[in-house]
Structure 1
Amino acid sequence: MDNGGTERIKQALADLCEPLHDVFAEAGASKLLQPPAEEDLDHVPDFSGRHYGWLRTHIVRAHAHFRLNQRNLDPWRLSGKHQRNGELWMTDGDYRLRILHGPSETDVPPPGRNGARRAYFHNPALPLAEPMFGPPNDRLLVLWHIHPITGEPSFRVVRPIGDWKYGGKAQVDVDFPLPQTSDDLINMQFNPSDDEIHLSIPNEEEGNDFRAGGISG
């Protein structure tokens, strides 16, 4: 892991810690995701079962997109097309984020076969020294997961540097959790390593309780 590159990414993402945790916590507590009261079962649909995991994920993404769109996140802003399978993308003009559903706190969805996604996942490996000219232009993934019991959201930031298939090893050179506050992120310490980081990924696109196609975010 390139420690200098990780530090500048931390600085860039610090302003997103509180907003992301706030809106995803609110989204995870949505009544649409909870089983209805027993007296309401005859007229209120129950989407809490395993057959509707894809729907719960889309509801969370839509709720988060709606709330983020209401906030002043300068210099960050929403990008992409949310109507295209719930894309939840952001940029600050230099960095680009794709906020994707992670089936667990450690799983990383692979790029799949789409050419544009595969290109996005092919960051050049971070150099030992920072470039002298030009913006960082990193393409990052922020993987969200909502605990199925507590409803608490968690996030991890990864920087993909290659292509892999379902069941293979994710290739990333930056990997760290996104804490609840910017101060916690800035004060987070890393031990630099030249070894590649390999994270486990699921054999299918869909995960556990909040499963849905994780590629679009």
Structure 2
Amino acid sequence: MSTFDLEALAGAMVPVSRAINTALTSAVVDVETACKETLDLPNTPAYQTPRVHLTRAATHHRLSKLGGIDGWSLSTQAGSNTPIHLYRDQNTLRLLHTPNATTVPAPGKNMARQFYYTNTALEGLAVPDAFYVQHNYLLLWRQGFATGEIALRLVRPIGVWKFGMPAKWDISMNLGGPDEDFSSFYFQPSEDEEEFRLPNELEAAEEEIDANVLS
């Protein structure tokens, strides 16, 4: 990890994390209001997936109106599921939904997604290579539609894994809210793989959804 400037990475993520957090928070509130008052959809597991889709679309629209976020640009090549992809210099960032604090969506069978997940492990990069190679990040979001609270986690994947298997990554940051002091980012190298745990039915469905979105 000493070959990578984690402080610079944290600084680069501050503006985009705040912007995404703000956009997601307002989108979650608006979606929940629409689901309850207009669509009459109760906040139950059976109706979480449509909420996630609507929230992603609303967030994409909010971010598109910003024009840019301190050097980060929103990809205009949005697919039918309005995926949220941002890029800055050699860094790319893809927003994916996760049902809990530990699940990292698997890449699935799509070769393009698998390629995106296959970063070179930082420990295998020599100075100054680590500063200039392309880095592909996942920004995982989860929400409480009842409370409107958002949680963000930045992950740098370093390989491919199957649904339900341990995720492979070497950087993980839990990001705070839009007004939080980001000077105390938490970095956790994955020297040991995350504990193996088969996803439950809802988690497996969420992973499959986001695998389809990440294209």
Aligning the two structures, in what range does the TM-score lie when normalised by the shorter sequence?
0.7 to 0.9
Percentage identity across paired residues of the two chains = 28
- Whether the 8 Å contact between 1:148 and 1:209 is mirrored in structure 2 is no
The Cα offsets for residues 81-126 of structure 1, whole Å up to 9 and x where unpaired, read as 3233221110012200110001112210001000000010000000
The Cα offsets for residues 145-203 of structure 1, whole Å up to 9 and x where unpaired, read as 01243120110000000111111100000011112248722333547x57245266763
Normalised to the residue count of structure 2, the TM-score between the two structures is 0.82
Root-mean-square deviation (CA, aligned residues, Å) is 3.1
- SS of corresponding position for 1:54: helix
Q: Which residue of 1 aligns with 2:27?
A: 27
Partners of 2:93 and 2:154 lie apart in 1 by: 9
Of the three residues 136, 139, 148, the one matched with 2:136 is 139
CA 1:129–1:101 in structure 2 vs 1: closer, same or farther (change >3 Å)? Answer: same
| CA apart distance, 1:14 | 1.4
Could you list the runs of 5+ residues in structure 1 that have no partner in the other structure? 38-43
CA 1:134–1:19 in structure 2 vs 1: closer, same or farther (change >3 Å)? Answer: closer
Partners of 1:129 and 1:84 lie apart in 2 by: 40
Specify the structure having the higher radius of gyration (Cα): 1
Of the three residues 106, 111, 118, the one matched with 2:114 is 118
Aligned length: 210
- Whether the 8 Å contact between 1:109 and 1:205 is mirrored in structure 2 is no
Name the structure with the higher helix share: 2
| CA apart distance, 1:16 | 1.3
Q: Which residue of 2 aligns with 1:171?
A: 168
Partners of 1:209 and 1:119 lie apart in 2 by: 22
**Are 2:8 and 1:8 aligned?**
yes
Partners of 1:119 and 1:147 lie apart in 2 by: 31
- SS of corresponding position for 2:142: strand
Q: Which residue of 2 aligns with 1:82?
A: 78
CA 1:30–1:116 in structure 2 vs 1: closer, same or farther (change >3 Å)? Answer: same
CA 1:184–1:194 in structure 2 vs 1: closer, same or farther (change >3 Å)? Answer: same
- SS of corresponding position for 2:107: coil
Partners of 1:185 and 1:3 lie apart in 2 by: 22
Q: Which residue of 2 aligns with 1:60?
A: 55
CA 1:110–1:194 in structure 2 vs 1: closer, same or farther (change >3 Å)? Answer: closer
Normalised to the residue count of structure 1, the TM-score between the two structures is 0.81
Could you list the runs of 5+ residues in structure 2 that have no partner in the other structure? none
